[in-house]
Every structure is written in C-alpha cells, then in structure tokens.
Amino acid sequence: MKIGITCYPSMGGSGIIATELGIKLAERGHDIHFITSNIPFRIRKPLPNITFHQVEVNQYAVFQYPPYDITLSTKIAEVINEYDLDLLHMHYAVPHAVCGILAKQMSGKDIKIMTTLHGTDITVLGYDHSLKNAIKFGIEESDIVTSVSKSLAQQTQEIIETSKEIVPIYNFVRENEFPTIRNTNLKQYYGIEDDEKVIIHVSNFRAVKRIDTVIETFAKIHKQMASKLLLIGDGPELMDMKQLAKDLDIEEYIIFLGKQDWVSEFYQLADLVLLLSEKESFGLTLLEAMKSGVVPVGSTAGGIKEVIRHGETGYLVDVGDSSQASEYALKLLTDDTLYNKFQQTMLKDIEQRFSSDLITDQYEYYYRQMLEGNHD
Ligand code: GMT
C-alpha cells in the first residue's frame, strides 16, 4: 500500500507512534510518505520505503498568522497525486484530520482517510468551543477513526457528541528500542549510590501530568528508603516542581534531567516508574518503561487502567493519592520476590497485548477494510 502519514514530528507520544508505525509498515514493504513540518525525530537515518515531504510555510506581510493548515493540505494533495497514494493516516483530529479531508478534495481523488485520536486532541481541545465542531467534522468525515485506548474512544463519543464508531488500537513500542536489560552504569554519573532505589517519571511537564503527586509520592518513599527520583522532561510546570522539591526539602534527591531524546538508558537503571496523571489516554512512557522491565504505579485516569493490570503487572491509585501510591511503591521496592513476579507477568502481558507486530497487524487490517469499502 502507498500510505501518506501526517503527525507532529516532535517528541510527543503521538509523533512517536506515527513514526514507529511508519517504520514498521515500511519494513513490511509498504511505501510510506511522511508529510510533516520536519523529519520525525525517531527517524535517525534514511530507511528503505520511507520518503519525507516537508511542509514549509512562507510568511507574507498579508498574513497575521502563517497558514500552516492550508500549506499542509496543499502539500498532502500534491503527494496524493504525485505518488498515487492509496490512503492517508492522519494523527490528531485537528488540524491533521481536517487537513486530510481538505487535501482529498483538492486532489480530486477518492482517497481513504484514517484518523487516529491520541488524547489531548479530545480531552483538552474537545472542550474548546472554537475547535469542537472542527474536531467533530474531522472525525465524522474520516473513513475510519481509531483511538489509542477504549477509554479515549468512549470519552470522544461523549465530549465530541458523535456516534461515529471509534476503534481502539493500543500504543506499542518497537521492541529493540527498549530492551529488557538492567544497566546501572549511568548511576555513578548522576551521583546515585548503589544501594539507592531509582524512581523515574517522564513527561512533558504539563499540569495534567500531576508531577506534584509524583514528587509527594517520592517524598513519602524517600522517608522510608534510600532513593532518588529521576524527572525527565520540560514544560510549563518545571519551575513550580523545582520549588515543590525545595519546599519538601528533598531537592538533593531529585534529579531534573530536562528534555532527553533517548530515554531507554534511564529506564535501564530505574526500579519503579510513576505516571500519576489526571488525564492520560494511554501513557506511552509507561509502556516504554515496562518493556524495559520497570514495574509501574499509575493513576486510574483514562487509558492507564488499560495498560496496567492492577495487582498483577503494577498498581493503580486514584488521581492525587500520593499516600496510596507510596505504599504500593514501597511494597514493590522492599519485596524482591513480589517485584520479580510482577515483572515477569508484566513482560508477558505487554508481549501479548502491545507487541509491535500485533498492533501493526491491526492497523493494516483496518487499512484493508477501508480500501475494500468495509466501513461506515
Ligand atoms: O502526553 C502528552 O501530553 C503528549 C501527547 C501527544 O499528543 O503526543 O500524548 C498523547 O498521545 C500519546 C500517544 O498516543 C499517549 O500515549 C498519551 O497518553 C497522550 N497524552 C495524553 O492523553 C495526555
């Protein structure tokens, strides 16, 4: 199949999934065309069957804002015609699904469109009245819409008020990117003692990630055992979180690492991952950590409860409940037998439910359904 993919090429989870899926599909012999503002960051070198088409927005004095959406749609239409694409896979309802629909009209071809919803496009933007109708239009005019969890599918129907069928297809990681190995070499580099447990959290430091609860949880763990918290990421909450660490008098035990392109090595030295968000459609960072062998404690928000099997592959707590989170963390960190049992179950579970082959099969299946006209 000849497939056009549009996503945000930056480090966000949606861009990562779109890119990794493109790579898997290219490995299976499909012709993949990324139509994006930059080369997706996970593409480190030229790969067979992958072509990149850059969307460049020109600035003219007549525009108050450069018209990215129009330029993107024009570029997609060009690529549809030039390469005779079979289908478009748009990641994010706005603007990408809407741009795909516009591009289809511009191209004059009856190309099929799949839209994948990732979370923020619904659970945050969906409440914005200036965008809601555009999101609804993007969803309803797509041939097939997928979401990265069952929870997001249900939330979309409620928030956007649409009866469009939404097919949940989970996130995945390419297995070789996150090997299940323990490598504590970096510990010394960051001043972490051998006997200290390492807790990790990775996010874009937005308020929805509830890093305050992560830090409060860590403060409670730290009272009971020698430990360090690795906080990876950057965003609007960073300065407030540094202040919270000072206020709780634990700043010397928290390592703020800023934005990191490659997180795999940090997971290899971690003992526990925390993702305690108040909104989270899936939590790709959880899966990356879990594939690396790190057992999680997560919140019950959104799709996290579909990723972690409570009491089997990790633990779930209510949003904001740092006491329960620290109790579960301590239970895991003080009992090697329990930890190893969870780790084994977790590795089997992610292989069965989130393997890159299984998820790529599911996307391919729905691509074929679209091309055969088997959709509403
Ligand atoms: O986590 C973020 O805020 C980034 C965001 C994005 O749009 O790239 O991630 C969303 O998509 C990921 C990939 O599908 C999901 O794993 C994340 O859970 C989701 N984030 C939220 O729902 C907040």
Say yes or no: CB of residue 233 within 6 Å of ligand 1: no
Question: Which has more pLDDT, 37 or 198?
Answer: 198
The yes-or-no answer to whether 2-172+355-371 and 175-353 have a common fold is yes
Res 291 pLDDT > 80: yes
> Residues 91, 63: contact at Cβ < 8 Å?
no
Domain over 2-172+355-371 is classified CATH 3.40.50.300? no
Specify which residues 294 forms β-bridges with.
none
Is residue 10 predicted with pLDDT exceeding 80? no
- Ligand 1 centre and the CA of 372: distance in Å? 31
Residues 301-325 have a mean pLDDT of 98
For range 127-135, the mean pLDDT: 95
Q: How far is the CA of 352 from the centre of ligand 1 (A)?
A: 22
Mean pLDDT of the chain: 96
**Over residues 352-360, mean pLDDT:** 98
Ligand 1 contacts CB of residue 119 (under 6 A): yes
Contact 227, 195 (CB under 8 A): no
Distance between CA atoms of residues 46 and 31, nearest Å? 14
Q: Distance between CA 181 and CA 303 in Å, rounded? A: 26
For the chain, percent of residues with pLDDT exceeding 90: 89
The protein residue with its alpha carbon nearest to ligand 1, atom 23, reads 280
Least confident span in 2-16, 70-84, 162-176: 2-16
What pLDDT sits at residue 272?
Answer: 98
Give 12 Cα–ligand 1 centroid separation in angstroms: 7
User: Helix H segments across 84-189?
Assistant: 98-107, 120-123, 129-141, 150-159, 185-189
Atom from ligand 1 closest to the CA of residue 148? 14
Question: What pLDDT band is residue 174 in, cutting at 50, 70 and 90?
Answer: very high
**Which atom of ligand 1 is nearest the CA belonging to 123?**
22
- Residue ranges of the alpha helices (H) in 209-355? 211-224, 238-247, 264-267, 284-291, 304-307, 322-333, 336-354
Mean local confidence (pLDDT), 315-326: 98
Flag whether pLDDT at 281 surpasses 90: yes
Instruction: Give pLDDT, residue 41.
Output: 78
pTM of the predicted structure, to 2 decimals? 0.96
Retrieve residue 342's tokens: 């969870």
- 118 Cβ below 6 A of ligand 1: yes
Ligand 1 neighbour 276 (Cβ under 6 A): no
The string of pLDDT tens digits covering residues 57-111 is 888 888 888 899 999 999 999 999 999 999 999 999 999 999 999 999 999 999 9
Q: What digits encode the pLDDT tens for the residues 105-115? A: 999 999 999 99
Residue 250's pLDDT is: 98
Mutate-to-test residue for ligand 1 from 89, 282, 304, 354, highest number of ligand atoms within 8 A of CB: 282
Q: What is the pLDDT of residue 9?
A: 84
| Cα 176 to Cα 236, 291, 356, distances in angstroms | 32, 10, 10
pLDDT of residue 72: 97
| Mean pLDDT across 22-40 | 95
Token digits for 46?
């030229």
Report the CATH architecture of 175-353.
3-Layer(aba) Sandwich (3.40)
For ligand 1, is residue 204 a contact (CB within 6 Å)? yes
The residue among 280, 290, 235, 4 whose CA lies nearest residue 118 is: 280
Alpha carbon of 284 to ligand 1 centroid (Å): 7
Instruction: Answer yes or no: is the C-beta of 298 below 6 A from any ligand 1 atom.
Output: no
pLDDT (average), residues 205-227: 98
Band of residue 11 on the pLDDT scale cut at 50, 70, 90:
low
- The dihedral over CA atoms of 48, 179, 297, 258, expressed in degrees to the nearest 10, equals -70
CA distance 282 to 285: 9
208 C-beta closer than 6 A to ligand 1: yes
Q: Which residue, by CA, sits nearest to atom 12 of ligand 1? A: 13
Domain spans in the chain, listed from the N-terminal domain onward: 2-172+355-371, 175-353
